[in-house]
């Protein structure tokens, strides 16, 4: 450590920090894109389920008629 020049020590630190700083945004962007893709599928499934439920309500004539129809289909009566 006695023979080491302080400027050389600083330059090494700058290089290693620069490499990390360059790689970090790419990793963050890839992770962000993957999370958006993973989150999009359940959102689409939820929207499809809501659309099916609303369609069933409209086709049966309302929420009470839908409950009666579901109960009769479930019990077989």
Describe the chain by its helix, strand, coil percentages, rounded to 5: 90, 0, 10
Angstrom distance (rounded) from CA 51 to CA 46: 9
44 closest CA partner among 34, 54, 32, 52: 52
Q: Which domain holds residue 41?
A: 6-75
**pTM exceeding the 0.85 threshold for the entire prediction:** no
Domains identified in the chain, total number: 1
Residue 55 lies in a domain: yes
Angstrom distance (rounded) from CA 26 to CA 15: 18
pLDDT value at position 26?
A: 72
Residue 1 lies in a domain: no
Q: Please determine, for residue 21, whether its predicted confidence score (pLDDT) is greater than 60.
A: no
pLDDT value at position 17?
A: 53
Q: What is the mean pLDDT of residues 32-53?
A: 93
Residue 68's CB: how many other CB atoms inside 10 A?
A: 13
């Amino acid at each position: 450590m006695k023979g080491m020049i302080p400027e050389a020590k600083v330059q090494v630190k700058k290089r290693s920090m620069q490499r990390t700083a360059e790689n970090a945004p790419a990793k963050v962007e890839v992770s962000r894109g993957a999370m958006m893709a993973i989150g999009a599928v359940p959102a689409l499934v939820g929207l499809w389920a809501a659309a099916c439920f609303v369609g069933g309500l409209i086709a049966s004539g309302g929420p009470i008629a839908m409950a009666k129809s579901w109960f009769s289909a479930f019990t077989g009566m």
